[in-house]
Amino acid sequence: NAYRALRTAVRNWNDDPAERFAQLEKAADRTRSGVFLEAVALELLAQGRVPEAAVRFRRAKALYTSSGDRMRQDLHLIGIDRAAGRKELALQALREAQARYGALPEAAALRGWVDLLDPPPPAPAKKP
């Protein structure tokens, strides 16, 4: 189980993040599992190592087979663009993701993000 392996990696290399990342990346290559790369990416992101995190999110997306997992990687990457003030890139990626994942129930989150970044105009006022 990937999550058991993640827990073991944290236990074994808690004081050596570089080694933990290396081991998890080897595990991702060996098992073809995006879980390990996504875990590394999230930790890198928390450390402010954004470009390195983005690379891992992209690699994780390539390994995942389910559309929901791939969409989650896209959301991570869109979040990076949004946090960096790259609103137009984030909106473009959101719209592409809507086209790609629109049939998924989770895709409702994409519409919410579009509305946050590019709010729809207010409804016309009703006359009393």
Q: Per-residue pLDDT tens for 99-123?
A: 999 999 999 999 999 999 999 888 8
pLDDT at 36: 95
Token digits for 59? Answer: 């690699």
Q: Which residue has the higher pLDDT, 17 or 58?
A: 58
Q: With 0.85 as the threshold, say if the pTM is over it.
A: yes
What is the signed CA dihedral for 76, 20, 66, 87, rounded to 10 degrees?
Answer: 10
pLDDT at 126: 85
The pLDDT of 64-91, averaged and rounded, is 96
